Amino acid sequence: MAAAQAGDRRAYERVLADSVALIRSVARRRGAPVDLLDDVVQETLLTVHRVRHTYDPSRSYDAWLAAIAGRRAIDTLRSHGRHSHREVHDEAALERYAEHDDASAESERKQRAQHLHAAIAELPPRQREAVQKLGIAEQSLAEASGGTGRNQGALKVNLHRALKTLRERLRGEP
Amino acid sequence: MSATPIPQPLIEALGAELAPVRRLLPPWLRALGWVAVVAITAAVLLVQHGAGPMLQRWAAAPDLAWSTLAAVVTAICAAWAACVLAVPGRARAWVWLPVPSAVVWMAASGWGCLRGLLDPASVVAGGPPVQDCIIFIVGFAIPLSALMIWLLRRACPLHPVRTAILLGLASAAAAASLLTIFHPIDSAATDLLAHALAICIVIGANAALGNRLLSRY
């Protein structure tokens, strides 16, 4: 990682690849189910990329990485828990109030869609493209990569960043 | 046993974005920068008000001197611990570093209050109103907290609330120490409560805002 901090790409890719096993092990210890392990790995690698300047080469890389992985595992579990919680409530609401859908609900839905479209329009071009291809047009990574001429990894990174920006921008809205 | 799946496209994308980075300064150095600002402020206040009145108050009531010394040590330890814990992978035990001095600080202040109750003649009267103490401590703690947040802006506090509580404690302890330079503390329960309230406001505000101010990553 010390070499990566100086800009050595090969060393960086090697250390990231070598880190995956430890990240998965930490995530499992934190109670992340198998189907969320890839999410934790992805979130952790992105965080490592953003905060690589905080690593002190005189200290343990594993301890530094494990702390980040543990935090991201908890964040992923919480986010997954919130998601599931909301889905259960939405189903219950749909069952109970299916007949009571009125004009105000429709207008609220339209308003939310407008906010979302406005937030997407404000994203940087590459992030916007990733959301449009992968999120809205529901293209696969391979299709989007073929259509845009950009590699799949870059599209994934852009989509992740776009979703983070959108979450922050739309946070607090009902 | 199956091989670990490696997200190669993501790793390659991150590798393609790689640029050399400037390493974060060591925690002790960042804490030292913050302590230096507090020390300069103390020097300015000492020049303005003189050390004489403060030393006379300490001679008359040594528990006040112990309380101030413990507050200074608490400020330094809390600032250091906040800087250390803002870096991933550091032992959680650092959170306890300012606790012993904080206990001495509270005990010495409490003893001063008790002394005032047992021997009212020893109380130094004529201090400013208690609301002035609150305004001073909170007023000084805000820029000190802002400075510490600025010093932590490139770090990565994985537990922002914990870090924010420590930086709030550091700011409140430093502001309370600076106050003793020109404030004739009277050791009365009202004065002690005013200080405790101001310190709680500073720590509480930092804890409440910690997630927003320190969760950049």
Tell me whether residues A153 and B13 touch, CB distance under 8 A. Answer: yes
In-domain check, residue B116: yes
Backbone angles phi, psi at B5, to 5 degrees: -70, 125
**B29-33, Cβ contacts within 8 angstroms, sequence gap of 24 or more:** B30/B83, B30/B151, B30/B152, B31/B76, B31/B79, B31/B80, B31/B82, B31/B83, B33/B151
- Nearest CB neighbour to B11, from listed A16, A21, A59: A16
In-domain check, residue B197: yes
CA distance B7 to chain A (A): 8
Among left, alpha and beta (phi > 0; psi -120 to 50; other), residue B215 is beta
ipTM, interface predicted TM-score of the complex:
0.76
Q: Tell me, yes or no, if A40 comes closer than 8 A to chain B by beta carbon.
A: no
CA distance B91 to chain A (A): 9
* Domains identified in chain B, total number: 1
Question: For residue A47, which of A171, A160, A163, A159 has the smallest C-alpha distance?
Answer: A160
In-domain check, residue B155: yes
A54 vs B137 pLDDT, higher one: A54
**Domain range holding B124?**
25-214
What distance in Å separates the CA atoms of residue B27 and residue B79, rounded to the nearest whole number?
9
pLDDT of residue B132: 73
* A108 lies in the same domain as A63: no
In-domain check, residue B12: no
pLDDT of residue A160: 84
Residue A125 token pair: 């071009």
Q: Which of the residue ranges A146-155, B33-42, B199-208 would you say has the lowest mean pLDDT? A: A146-155
Q: What is the pLDDT of residues A96-137, one digit of tens each?
A: 555 555 556 667 777 777 778 888 888 888 888 888 888 887
If you measure CA to CA, which chain B residue comes closest to A23? B4
* Domains identified in chain A, total number: 2
Q: Tell me, yes or no, if B23 comes closer than 8 A to chain A by beta carbon.
A: yes
- Nearest CB neighbour to B18, from listed A12, A71, A153: A12
Q: What is the pLDDT of residues B74-102, one digit of tens each?
A: 999 999 999 999 999 898 899 999 999 99
Tell me whether residues A42 and B4 touch, CB distance under 8 A. Answer: no
Q: Tell me, yes or no, if B153 comes closer than 8 A to chain A by beta carbon.
A: no
Tell me whether residues B14 and A21 touch, CB distance under 8 A. Answer: no
In-domain check, residue B9: no
Q: Cβ(B31)–Cβ(B79) under 8 Å? A: yes
Query: Looking at the predicted structure, is the pLDDT value of residue B10 above 70?
Result: yes
* A69 lies in the same domain as A131: no
Residue A44 token pair: 């952790």
Q: Cβ(B82)–Cβ(B148) under 8 Å? A: yes
In-domain check, residue A129: yes
Which chain B residues contact residue A154 at CB under 8 A?
Answer: 13, 16
Which chain B residues contact residue A165 at CB under 8 A?
Answer: none
Q: Tell me, yes or no, if B11 comes closer than 8 A to chain A by beta carbon.
A: yes
Confidence of residue B1 (pLDDT cuts 50, 70, 90): very low
Among left, alpha and beta (phi > 0; psi -120 to 50; other), residue B105 is alpha
In-domain check, residue A90: no
**Domain range holding A38?**
2-78
CA distance B84 to chain A (A): 11
Q: What is the pLDDT of residues A11-29, one digit of tens each?
A: 999 999 999 999 999 999 9
What distance in Å separates the CA atoms of residue B35 and residue B30, rounded to the nearest whole number?
9
CATH number at residue A131: 1.10.10.10
Q: Tell me, yes or no, if A18 comes closer than 8 A to chain B by beta carbon.
A: no
Q: What mean pLDDT is predicted for residues A148-160?
A: 82
Question: Which residues 83-102 on chain B approach chain A with CB closer than 8 angstroms?
Answer: 87-90
